[in-house]
Structure 1
Amino acid sequence: MMVEFAPLNIPLNRRLQTAAVFQWVFSFLLLAQCCVGIFLMLVLARFWLVIALYVLWLYLDWETPQTGGRRWEWVQNWTVWKYFKDYFPIKLIKTTDLDPRYNYLMGFHPHGVLVAGAFGNFCTNHTGFKELFPGLTPHLHILPFWFRCPFFREYAMCMGLVCSSKKSVTHVLSREEGGNAAIIVIGGAEESLDAHPGNLTLHILNRKGFIKVALKRGAHLVPVFSFGENELFLQVSNPKGSLLRTIQERLQRVMGFALPLFHARGIFQYSFGLMPFRMPIHTVVGKPIPVLQTSNPTQEEIDELHKKYLNSLQELFEDNKENYGVPEHKSLIFT
């Protein structure tokens, strides 16, 4: 295979964009493991006072990821996130105003491999969320696993990330004066295994927990579709029923997160590596679906609202697909 190297005269701005995305990929794939390694090194080096103080901190702070987290605006404003956003680039598109007197549960689709659009739009302050939706505070929910990693959990919360548990989502949506937005990647880890370029398969038909929470809290539902999310990486072919897919699904059930075998480009060449392709991401926020608070929703009410959400998501996709390069004949596939 011929390797296509990047030219030497690339502008500094683009090199900084590449560096910003490299540190993000590293953070996503290896930073948690590095943090665990540092913690173990401190134990082996017998820094008992440091270990004792941090363990005490963990004991006192353990529930914070489930009670709104601890965002730090300074971290979300880092210039590195501007370069990260410009690498693809990532753009946030509003279709209607969202009244900050209400709380919202936003369903993000599709998962993609590394959820770049969700992170760029809802964990950094460089794509205009505050300006587009004044008065709303976004909370991106991720797997509880990440908040069990020492040191890494602190960094994750600084970015506005919170736990994806029922308790955490309920807490975010319980703000009496409104103004909170819980962002949930509905397809979850399982959907990342279908994140192939051009694929529009969404794992949603049997996912109704978010509907039940929205009903119980009276949070308005908002579908969000991120065009370009599945175009960032290539995956090793893993059709349903294949040996690779079977292994991936079993590992996902055991560990709680998926292991897609993906690749794209490198830092100094375009032929192979774990850096995403420079493909635009357009994250479109749809119209809210009003939800009347129901303390004990019936299965019929849950199914009815779920169907309404699917119709709204389908409409959002169909209304915008031509604007962002999706062929007219292609439609969403719900599984």
Structure 2
Amino acid sequence: MGAHDKLVMGEKLHSHRIGDGTGTTGNGIDLSGIKCSISPWTYFKGAIAHCMVWGGLQLGALSPVVTLATYQLLGPRCAVLFLAFAILSVLAPSRHSPAFCRFYLGSAACVGGSTVWVPDKILQLLQGRGYLVCFHPHGILPLGFSFNGALRVKAEAPEQFLPASFNFPKDCNGVQAPVLWRVPFFAPALRMWDACTPATKGNMKKLLAAKAAFGIIPGGSEDVAIHEHGKENVYINSRYGFIKYALQHGYSLILAYTFGENDQFYSLSCLRPLNLWLVKRFGFVLPIFWGKTFFPLLPRGGGLNTIYGRVIHLPTIHDPTFEDLVKWHALYVEELKSMFDEYKVKFGFGDRAGLVVSPGGAMRCGDEVFGVAEGALRSFIESSRWFAALIPRGLSGVEMSSLPTVSLTLAAAMDFGRVVHGDVVVIQAGAGGTGCAALAALRRCGALPMATAKKQCFLRVRCGVQNVSSTRSGQTFLLDFFENLPPRCLGASFMVNSLTHDDFIPRGLSILAPGGRAVELGKLRVWSVQAVNRFREDILYATMLLGRCH
């Protein structure tokens, strides 16, 4: 049997940052210095490196269009010359250049610095062989994969990009889409990096047979197709290939997530269906994206933080069945979500409260505020005034810092539920933060709340809820609900659900009155809208995450 390891909170995190012109190494879990100060000269050099590499990718992808435009504007000779130069860039031999790797890593200044975070347990594993680092998400450009992976080892003077304590294998590698090696003006960069291999079946088997340590981006081109700025979209549900190869060779999977990857560029999400079709039919994607206003190819910045947060040790199964693939793929997805939930507050958005030290808008220095902010555990943060509010008199920052996410979730759920006086409303897991807030809101609007909770006495005594059932048994919940249902009532008007075990989803949907509404707050094993429509066509259903409801 395989096993999976989780980082225990308080375990030391080793970190190393590039992009500030020096390189910074740190230990511990103090995240106050995630963002670095970058000089204009360092940023300028990084911008040149970024545009040379990724501008070459864009120029190469558009080379047919550029050839036609050159023919129309400058004549056939210039068009033939450009086309010959493009073909030569693909066919001409080039070899590994540590100096070029060093030059490219300087472009981390464009994103505001790039930091890799590794806990003790995983750091020891990274110094060996026979593991596969799975990077998420891809983003528009795989910046986290390139900055915080094998390229640090391949660069000139690697000790500046990776301290001795990390000690990654010198022959570590990565795999990328084979089509990239046929893109003019970008293929030479890949060969000079010598940190990537075309992701063909043969190359994968060679790396696995040699027990090499290498990285992949499981989401691939589909990740690019579903990219949305500011949203953490990951394409993983139908990816079984890397699981199969890892099982056949008994590899360990290291899950790595780059926070800030999807914030570097904007893209046209309306082209998602077209891009998904292109990937399925032709294996490539043509996103339309932009970063900085004054130069769209440059990323917007804000910093990248790649956390190597989970390990899954797979058994060796030479001929895995489909059931084996589904089992281990499900564990992988669950661990990926768990890792994201654990670190999203540290590196993404989270609840916070504090004092204004540099005011903007209507706020003043010294004002006590609460809200949602990026990197909420840092000592100093930058936040838009739209994500902050003044703390009311008589309340402390400790109390208010627990409310933003709960309140936003509740507001979105109640807006969908359209609860009015006299409605019967079911709140699953009512003793949680969102549950308690929902029960208080329901009392104010005159609705009749019915809840489930492990702490049933707490809800009855402290929250004043009379009808409380168990979260352990779905059958007990059904019996208690119908026993306490008011006379001549056809069922609940609204349900907020977060329980997925013991058939709580179908049982909860069955108690809704015709025209009832249900919001799903859970993330694992939830039902899709299509599945609910097949179960009951006379109700409205939505799954909700903070920042998205569909």
TM-score with structure 1 setting the length: 0.75
Equivalenced residues, count? 295
Which residue pairs with 1:161 in the alignment?
A: 196
Higher share in strand: 2
In the TM superposition, 1:1-335 aligns within 5 A as 11-31=40-60, 41=81, 71-76=96-101, 78=102, 80-88=103-111, 89-95=113-119, 96-97=122-123, 98=125, 100-125=127-152, 127-128=161-162, 131-135=165-169, 137-149=171-183, 152-159=186-193, 160-175=195-210, 178=211, 180-238=212-270, 244-266=271-293, 269=294, 273-327=296-350
More deviation, 318-327/221-230 = 318-327
8 A Cα contact 2:60 2:186, kept in partner? yes
Tell me which amino acid in the other structure corresponds to 1:253: K
More deviation, 150-159/216-225 = 150-159
Give the Cα–Cα distance (whole angstroms) in 2 for the partners of residues 255 and 130 of structure 1. Answer: 43
Secondary structure of 2:133's match?
Answer: strand
8 A Cα contact 1:112 1:230, kept in partner? yes
8 A Cα contact 1:222 1:289, kept in partner? yes
Higher relative contact order (CA 8 A, sep 6+): 1
Give the Cα–Cα distance (whole angstroms) in 2 for the partners of residues 216 and 256 of structure 1. Answer: 25
TM-score with structure 2 setting the length: 0.48
Give the Cα–Cα distance (whole angstroms) in 2 for the partners of residues 163 and 74 of structure 1. Answer: 22
Shift of 1:71: 4.5
Which residue pairs with 1:48 in the alignment?
A: none
Percentage of identical aligned residues: 24
Change (3 A) 1:102 1:292: farther
Shift of 1:190: 1.4
Give the Cα–Cα distance (whole angstroms) in 2 for the partners of residues 299 and 44 of structure 1. Answer: 48
8 A Cα contact 2:258 2:306, kept in partner? yes
8 A Cα contact 1:91 1:127, kept in partner? no
Structure 1 residues 19-60: Cα deviation after superposition (integer angstroms, max 9, x where no partner) = 222223212322466699899749979xxxxx8xx97x88xx
Tell me which amino acid in the other structure corresponds to 2:284: F
8 A Cα contact 2:56 2:185, kept in partner? no
Mark the runs of 5 or more structure 2 residues left unpaired by the alignment: 1-38, 68-77, 153-159, 352-404, 410-520, 529-550
Structure 1 residues 116-144: Cα deviation after superposition (integer angstroms, max 9, x where no partner) = 11111225326428752433643221111
Shift of 1:150: 6.7
- Let me know the Cα RMSD of the aligned residues: 3.5
Shift of 1:317: 1.3
Mark the runs of 5 or more structure 1 residues left unpaired by the alignment: 1-9, 46-50, 62-69, 239-243
8 A Cα contact 2:110 2:299, kept in partner? no
8 A Cα contact 2:226 2:233, kept in partner? yes
Tell me which amino acid in the other structure corresponds to 1:280: G
More deviation, 218-227/156-165 = 156-165
Shift of 1:151: 7.4
Change (3 A) 1:291 1:281: same
Select the structure of larger CA radius of gyration. 2
